[in-house]
Amino acid sequence: MTPDYDVTTFETWRLKAEEDLTAASILAEHGGPAATICFLCQQVAEKYLKGYLLLCRQPPKRIHHLDVLLEDCIALDDSFQRLVDDAVFLKRYYIESRYPDDLPQEVRPEEAAEAMTAASHLRDFVLATVRIH
């Protein structure tokens, strides 16, 4: 028997994640602020992980901790274990509020490039996994 997947909800989350990735890419191409690029990459990862959980009809926790969301994905499919490094790297870039006092200090352009790589890796993995289902 084939599991009942919620493809429509996953697609909604995927499209929103792709908007964030496009925005991060445009900023990166034009030397935009590294902290904002990193935040957007964290958001890409969060939306793809939550989207996967929703695809599997597992309501995600209302949190922003990528490592915890990833643990929930691993409980459904242990191949998600390979995303641990990406999730741990990106989780530091979630910003509770967007006020200047809360922004991470001194986020370097190299970090933005690494964040783009990590977000793209996580995205590609989730999309490949979804295609398997």
In a domain, 1, yes or no: no
pLDDT in tens, 19-73: 999 999 999 999 999 999 999 999 999 999 999 999 999 999 999 999 999 999 9
What is residue 106's predicted lDDT score, i.e. its pLDDT?
81
Q: What is the domain-level CATH number for residue 20?
A: 1.20.120.330
d(CA 54, CA 6) in angstroms, rounded, equals 7
For 27, the domain range is 7-128
In a domain, 2, yes or no: no
Residue 4 has pLDDT above 90, yes or no: no
Higher pLDDT, 4 or 66: 66
Please count the structural domains in the chain. Answer: 1
In a domain, 117, yes or no: yes
Q: Quick one: three-class SS letters along the chain? A: CCCCCCHHHHHHHHHHHHHHHHHHHHHHHCCCCHHHHHHHHHHHHHHHHHHHHHHCCCCCCCCCCHHHHHHHHHHHCHHHHHHHHHHHHHHCCCCCCCCHHHCCCCCCHHHHHHHHHHHHHHHHHHHHHHHHC
